[in-house]
Structure 1
Amino acid sequence: MKNIILEKSYQFSERILNVYFFLRENKHFRLAEQIVGSGTSIGANVVEAQAAQSRNDFISKLCIASKEARETEFWLKLFNRKELLQDYPDYEYLRDEIKEIIKILDSIILSSKEKK
């Protein structure tokens, strides 16, 4: 059975790495560091949740992933500028995908809390 959040967060991380390299090429070093940190942390925490020691640990890891996703959404909104990512080929995909990831994470967290 496919794990949608694992797949989506990994694919998103790959695209965020591309954004990181793009921003660095354009000398936006600090901004590149910000978005690569939060954008790849989503997937890392989702992976950690798969090896959780308890339901509470699972929920905790996914809550961290959700927070990182929201931070990434913030950076993407902020970077909607001509000199940053406005014309970047994957920009719309990234904005739409982060919203979808947040919805999925929140749904998993909610259902996991209800099962406690």
Structure 2
Amino acid sequence: MENNLQKRLFQFSIDIIKEVRNLPNSKEYQVISYQILKSATSVGANYEEAQGAVSKADFANKVGISLKEIRETNYWIRIIIAIDNQKINWAVLEKESNELIRILGTIYNKTSKNKKVVSSRIPDTIS
């Protein structure tokens, strides 16, 4: 049974894919598109793997990877916004990625075996 976070992560991946299709085809956007597609789709894929974890440590590890990937995705979103701040849909995706960072950070911090607190702080936005 799919939980709400799984649905959000899946939809987030779909939304990123759709928005990437609208980016220009210049060399710099090709690099950004490739990177953001990899990281954004990896977030949900790793969280899906976490659902079948064989131990708490395995679960925490997969959630930790999801957290790293959503943070990377947030970085690429911020670059897209900084290049062209007229990209309103990207601002919506940035907001969602910030919320997902908080959620995944909280889950990871509660389940991590070593209890090392990982920052789920939202990155400072580019002005």
TM-score under structure 2 length normalisation: 0.79
Tell me the residue number matched to 1:9: 9
Within the alignment, does 1:75 sit opposite 2:70 as a pair? no
Tell me the residue number matched to 1:59: 60
TM superposition shift of 1:72: 0.6
Residue type at the aligned position of 1:14: I
Q: Identify which of structures 1 and 2 has the higher relative contact order when contacts are C-alpha pairs closer than 8 Å and 6+ apart.
A: 1
Within the alignment, does 1:90 sit opposite 2:89 as a pair? yes
Residue type at the aligned position of 1:11: Q
- Conserved 8 A contact 2:13-2:44: yes
Tell me the residue number matched to 2:125: none
Distance in 2 of aligned mates of 1:102 and 1:55 = 20
Equivalent residue pairs, number = 110
1:63-100 per-position Cα deviation (integer Å, ceiling 9, x unaligned)? 00000010011111111122xxx323421210100000
Distance in 2 of aligned mates of 1:7 and 1:90 = 19
Indicate the structure with greater helix content. 1
The gaps in structure 1 that reach 5 residues or longer are none
Distance in 2 of aligned mates of 1:77 and 1:88 = 11
Residue type at the aligned position of 1:78: I
Tell me the residue number matched to 1:48: 49
Aligned-pair Cα RMSD in Å: 1.8
Distance in 2 of aligned mates of 1:21 and 1:53 = 37
TM-score under structure 1 length normalisation: 0.86
Tell me the residue number matched to 1:112: 111
- Conserved 8 A contact 1:38-1:72: yes
TM superposition shift of 1:17: 0.5
Q: Identity of counterpart residues, as a percentage?
A: 35
Residue type at the aligned position of 1:49: A
